[in-house]
Amino acid sequence: MKQTADRVAVVTGGTRGIGAAITTTLAREGYHVAAGYSKSRAASEQFSAKLIADGLSVSVHKGNVGDPGDCRRVIEEVLSLHGRVDVLVNNAGITVDKTVRRMTVDDWHAVLRVNLSGAFYMVQAVLEHMLERGFGRIINISSVVGETGAFGQANYAASRNHGKLCGPGLHRHRHGCRRSEQRAGAVRVQDSRRPTRPTRRGGSGRPLPRRGRRLLHHRRRYPGQRGTRNVT
């Protein structure tokens, strides 16, 4: 049965780490959040049950962002249940850390397939719906590693420097759709295999900086913005 929510957000990788914090933040701000996950169904359902018990509106959806068909299926599932998608947060990401000498071609493509191509597949899956409605917000969670690089993370660095993924390199529209890129630092997650050092932004407990949070508001024009030139 379709349940139309006032505002609906899709967060890929939305049940763990930074994604879980984004899901919680958006739900507390009144969104119904469709949080995506690829593994650990029990843990994902436990996460959503906790938020629902707190009076928040959350659903979880299993899918593989590295598969364009699966991306379309998840978006269609959310639309059939809730009638709309206002916000897409491309957060899902994986790591396969090895030096370039030891990294295989499969290791390289596995990371880019999820972290980079997955974001593109999700944008393609939801873009027509947003353009038809005349409103949409797309937020890409990238990484400081995409700019600085890191030892043993050549594939991850390449995959997380996708600020122009939904910018001029795709298309420019005047149909109410806007995009933003937010760079995160290192954050320890439950099944992390090695210790990480949280950076100021990654460990701040605020998954979306003020610029990213302002983008979510249902407004066509922003302070200081002369026109309504929108970027997907």
Q: How far apart are the first and last CA of the chain?
A: 30
Closest CA to 61 of 198, 53, 48, 158: 48
Q: Which helix (H) or strand (E) holds 20?
A: helix 17-28
- Identify the active-site residue in 31, 37, 156, 222: 156
CA separation for the pair 120, 181 (Å, rounded): 13
Would strands 172-173 and 230-231 be described as parallel, antiparallel, or unpaired?
antiparallel
The SS3 call for residue 4 is: coil
Q: Which helix (H) or strand (E) holds 145?
A: helix 145-148
Residue 156 is a catalytic residue: yes
CA separation for the pair 108, 96 (Å, rounded): 8
CA separation for the pair 14, 103 (Å, rounded): 28
Which of the residues are catalytic? Answer: 156
